[in-house]
């Protein structure tokens, strides 16, 4: 039993926030891959011919998400990270990723 007046150790949240931010990075990466493909600057390979290039785009986006998660997790695990900075950045990246995969946005380019 803990003695009264004992101080608590701060709870680490780095691993959880690494997952949140990696999701935002993965969303933005997928959006960027899609928009670059639509303007002709990048051609993703078709991993499954009947589905076309979307299979290569999503696979590459998933790989980039996993890499971001792995890097952030290794750097942030066991640390206390300010969630007030990570959450807005994550939401911004997800919003940009959704915008970039939205077909009416492509037509504006």
For residue 105, what pLDDT is reported? 82
Any long-range contacts for 8-13 (C-beta under 8 Å, 24+ apart)? Answer: 10/80, 11/80, 12/77, 12/78, 12/79, 12/80, 13/80, 13/81, 13/83
Residue-wise pLDDT tens for the chain (109 aa)?
Answer: 555 666 787 789 999 999 999 999 999 999 999 999 888 898 888 899 998 889 999 999 999 999 999 999 999 999 999 999 999 999 999 999 999 999 888 778 7
For residue 38, what pLDDT is reported? 86
Coil/strand/helix, residue 17? helix
For residue 5, what pLDDT is reported? 60
Q: Are 17 and 86 in contact (CB under 8 A)?
A: yes
Q: Are 89 and 24 in contact (CB under 8 A)?
A: yes
Maximum Cα interatomic distance, the chain, rounded to a whole number of Å = 66
Tokens of 66: 């996993």
What phi and psi values does residue 68 have, to the nearest 5 degrees?
A: -60, -40
């Amino acid at each position: 039993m803990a003695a009264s007046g004992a101080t608590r150790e701060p709870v680490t949240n780095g691993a959880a926030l690494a997952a949140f931010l990696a999701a935002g990075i993965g969303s933005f990466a997928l959006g960027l891959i899609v928009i670059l493909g639509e303007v002709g600057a990048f051609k993703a390979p078709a991993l499954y011919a009947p589905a076309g290039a979307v299979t290569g785009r999503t696979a590459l986006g998933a790989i980039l998400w996993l890499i971001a998660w792995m890097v952030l997790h290794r750097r942030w695990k066991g640390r206390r990270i300010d969630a007030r900075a990570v959450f807005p950045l994550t939401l911004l990246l997800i919003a940009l990723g959704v915008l970039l995969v939205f077909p009416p946005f492509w037509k504006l380019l």
